[in-house]
Amino acid sequence: MLLSLSLYKEGSRVVYRTEIDDDALEFARTLVAANPGYAPAYVIDICRTDDGLKMLETNCINAAGFYEADLLKLVSSIDAFSAG
Q: Tell me which H or E stretch contains 73.
A: helix 71-83
- Distances from the Cα of 24 to the Cα of 27, 43, 82, angstroms: 5, 14, 29
Cα–chain center distance at 34: 15
| Residue ranges per structural domain of the chain | 7-83
Please answer whether residues 3 and 55 qualify as being in contact, where contact means their C-beta atoms are separated by less than 8 angstroms: no
Question: What is the rounded CA–CA span in Å between residue 70 and residue 66?
Answer: 8
Per-residue pLDDT of 70-83, as tens digits, reads: 888 888 888 887 77
How many residues make up the chain in this entry? 84
Per-residue pLDDT of 30-47, as tens digits, reads: 999 998 888 888 889 999
